Structure 1
Amino acid sequence: MQDSRGLALLIGTLLFLIPTFIGLYKMFEKAGEAGWKGLVPVYNLVVILKLAGRPWSWIFYLFIPVIGQVIMIGLLIDFVKCYGKNSLIDYIAAAIFPFLYFPYLGFKKDVVYTAPKKEEGKKSVRQEWTEAIGFAVIAATLIRWLIMEAYTIPTPSMENSLLVGDFLFVSKFHYGTRTTTTPLQVPLTHQKIWFTNIPSYVEWIKLPQYRLPGLSHVKRGDVVVFNVPPRGLNDDVDYPVDLKTNYIKRCVAVPGDTLFIQDKQVYTNGEPLPNPPEMQYSYVVTSDNPINERNLRALGLGPEDAQGGGQQNGKFYYLMFLTKERADALKKLSYIKSVVLENKNEVEGQIPYSRYYEVPSTSEKRYSHWVTDNFGPLWVPKKGGTIPINDSTLTFYGPTIKMYDHNKDVKIENGRLYIDGKEVTEYTFKQDYYFMMGDNRHNSLDSRFWGFVPEDHIVGKAFFIWLSIDRNADFFHKIRWSRFFNLIR
């Protein structure tokens, strides 16, 4: 497995670098520079700085996290402007797809290099920095909004498919990017200004939200980034929809599906849903002796995967989150006495009786006794789908109707629904909804506990991993090289 991942990493890197360097070879020749300079890493950046009319000393700034990425975008834009490319499409192509765009410019005969014009009176360092960073911020903001955005994985809820410390790009154009509801916001921020608790936006102007056309719709099995709906998972703050906290999960049911979970297996419309290859569950592991950190790391397990170590009746007990493959490997070790898959049978916490769900029903009747591993059946709301209104349906769908389906005045009293002061006996949903679950099925706070994801909360499709850092490893093993450029499936 590791060998195949390493080979995939090597192939992916070569497919990116070789066309880029070949393109630079031809572009440098057009500018009167030796083509071989385009084949030398780092030195080719020095030449790009020269051709773009920027000081060579900027090379050091390119390696500063975050700042370097912004400056790099501005530099590549300045570089292609010297070849007569001045449209937004050209800028996006240079910043995101240089492995395709640079060969195109290099081999296209009518593309010529023109040195940047020297303006009368030398610009001050402050002017140069202000112009370069300002332009780069604008370009980065447009790319982040329209095309792709970088995210990191902070929790183990998607392990072992996605690991804590994975950095990934999320495609906005797959499902169509959303227009912002709060245009007055500090660029390249989310809820807060960097390193402060100061809000990054003001709501003096509030706009309606729209979604631009995309390439596809959310499908079962897609790994999706979305704004988590409940206020309780957003610092108890009513953020605008597009500024709510980002979550990443796998879509297991789409609008109109009927979902249920039986003995841990997810079914949609009566058919078993294919399980992710790296899906995990919790296991109780017992051993004769304490399992040291070195042995855990040899098994590919970190602090997020193994808890406990308490002793009882001469045995040591651990709670571990494992794939089936790792559980089977543990069973073969001589010092491991048992590896038992847990059954999650806690009744409390799942929807509709969840602290995140705010069930409006006043009935003493309990309409479900669902647990984590045996859940449903539950119909996922679909735009245009109609349900009768009674105490039972309000228990399951009342919070969604009230908080997320774009109704202004909603009251739920004694098993009845009132919208704009009028009683409603049946309700038609105004948008689509999705059901999301983490691949770490026993260690994921997902739709089983807080409900449906509205369509207007969908951010984008997780695309590929561009960096992965193991925060628990030593210095020489911090970077998980085998995960670079892995597509997310």
Structure 2
Amino acid sequence: MKERGVQEGKIPWKLIVGIILSVWLLRTFCAESFRIPANQMENTLLEGDHLWVWKSSYGVRVPQTPVSLPFCYDTIPGTKIRSYISLGIPEMYFFRKFPNRNDIVVFNIPSLEKNIPVDRKKIAVARCIGFPGDTVSFQNGVLRINGNFVSQPSRAIAAYFCADSVKSVIDSLFLKLNITPVSTKIEKKSLYFLSRYDYFRVKNLLASPDLLQEVNLDRNNFRVVLPLFGEATSVNAENASFIARLMSAYEGRDVEVRDGRIYDGETEIVSYRFAQPYYWVLADNREMGTDSRSFGALPHSHLVGKGSRVWLSFDSGKPFYKAFRIDRIFKVL
């Protein structure tokens, strides 16, 4: 009886280790929940949404920081102490798969900070719209891929302005339609950030559509040709700077651009075969989102996974007992 009691009092370490290891494997390679930051995907996703992300959708990414504190991302809350141990593991992605066009992808934001492992860089979410070899252009509010017009998501946030003389009229329509846009003032004009859907609702009630006009910010005017994958990309004066930056930032090449040509030392590089695919991503919040307009092409090594569904959502601007957004629970993207 005594021996049986001792056995019953033992801590089941094997079971505990097995559970911890299973949870680690699931969170690292299969699925994980991420909280959506502000100004990224309104109104498709809202700040405070908790998004379920399938990490295996685009292949298997080997973690660079497998040893870390649970429930901490980059630092221990309230301190500047890192919550992980970097083991110097190189970037590795196995069984790589391409996203589908318009997939909502979660990714680590590319940065030039070499001392931060890729899997510990800040998280963002956006739509994957451009693939290797694509020409992506955005001019005067019109998005085109390979010359073909691409319709914008109806809930995508854009910027619009009106003169102060008609601000009261615009505000009254917002109130009537129960629209609460973010707004600011620039000189003698009011600037509003609202979805294209809400913009057309207001526009249809205006005496003149020119009373509320879309703003074309500099970041919304660009043209980029993404490098090929699986075959060499030719270098020319138009793409030399773009190609050289990708080679230096993500391919480990020490190159420079001189007179529209790429050089490795004194050797000119006339074409280059990239080791991984590069994509172009756009946030649905066209004016304030962090996406390829901020950091350029997104390398495959920075993909975390595919956004699947919202499983939990809280509105931080409301009291706790009113913050729970029941209508968004298990919302499929």
Place the TM-score, normalised by the shorter chain, in its bin: 0.7 to 0.9
Matched, 1:380 2:266: no
Query: Could you tell which deviates more after superposition, 468-477 or 222-231?
Result: 468-477
Matched, 1:247 2:142: no
Secondary structure, in 3 states, of the residue corresponding to 1:144?
Answer: helix
Q: What residue number does 1:163 align with?
A: 46
Alpha-carbon distance, 1:245 to partner: 1.3
Higher helix share: 1
CA contact (8 A) 1:181 1:206 kept: yes
Q: How does 1:391-406 map to 2 (within 5 A)?
A: 391-406=237-252
Aligned counterparts of 1:186 and 1:476: Cα–Cα separation in 2: 30
Alpha-carbon distance, 1:165 to partner: 1.1
Q: What residue number does 1:210 align with?
A: 92
CA contact (8 A) 1:327 1:339 kept: no
Secondary structure, in 3 states, of the residue corresponding to 1:196?
Answer: coil
Q: What residue number does 1:437 align with?
A: 282
Q: How does 1:88-487 map to 2 (within 5 A)?
A: 120=6, 123=9, 127=11, 135-203=18-86, 205-213=87-95, 216-231=97-112, 236=113, 238-285=115-162, 286-288=166-168, 299-301=178-180, 305-308=181-184, 318-331=190-203, 340-346=212-218, 350=219, 372=220, 374-376=221-223, 378-407=224-253, 409-419=254-264, 422-487=267-332
Higher strand share: 2
Alpha-carbon distance, 1:289 to partner: 8.0
| 1:310–1:240 Cα change, 3 Å | closer
CA contact (8 A) 2:140 2:216 kept: no
CA contact (8 A) 1:299 1:326 kept: no
| 1:277–1:134 Cα change, 3 Å | farther
Alpha-carbon distance, 1:290 to partner: 10
CA contact (8 A) 2:108 2:119 kept: yes
Aligned counterparts of 1:290 and 1:390: Cα–Cα separation in 2: 49
What is the aligned-residue identity percentage? 29
CA RMSD of aligned residues (A): 3.3
CA contact (8 A) 1:141 1:187 kept: no
Larger relative contact order (CA 8 Å, sep ≥ 6)? 2
Calculate the TM-score normalised by the size of structure 2. 0.83
Q: What residue number does 1:366 align with?
A: none
Alpha-carbon distance, 1:485 to partner: 0.6
Amino acid at match of 1:217: F
Calculate the TM-score normalised by the size of structure 1. 0.59
| 1:339–1:445 Cα change, 3 Å | farther
Aligned counterparts of 1:474 and 1:291: Cα–Cα separation in 2: 26
| 1:207–1:341 Cα change, 3 Å | same
Query: Could you tell which deviates more after superposition, 391-400 or 421-430?
Result: 421-430
Secondary structure, in 3 states, of the residue corresponding to 1:403?
Answer: helix
Secondary structure, in 3 states, of the residue corresponding to 1:402?
Answer: helix
| 1:458–1:445 Cα change, 3 Å | same
Aligned counterparts of 1:340 and 1:300: Cα–Cα separation in 2: 15
| 1:422–1:333 Cα change, 3 Å | closer
Aligned counterparts of 2:151 and 2:192: Cα–Cα separation in 1: 23
Secondary structure, in 3 states, of the residue corresponding to 2:37?
Answer: coil
Aligned counterparts of 1:417 and 1:202: Cα–Cα separation in 2: 37
Larger radius of gyration: 1
Amino acid at match of 2:126: K
| 1:189–1:413 Cα change, 3 Å | farther
Q: What residue number does 1:358 align with?
A: none
Give the unaligned 5+ runs of structure 2. none
| 1:311–1:453 Cα change, 3 Å | closer
Alpha-carbon distance, 1:463 to partner: 0.5
Alpha-carbon distance, 1:121 to partner: 5.1
Aligned counterparts of 1:297 and 1:230: Cα–Cα separation in 2: 44
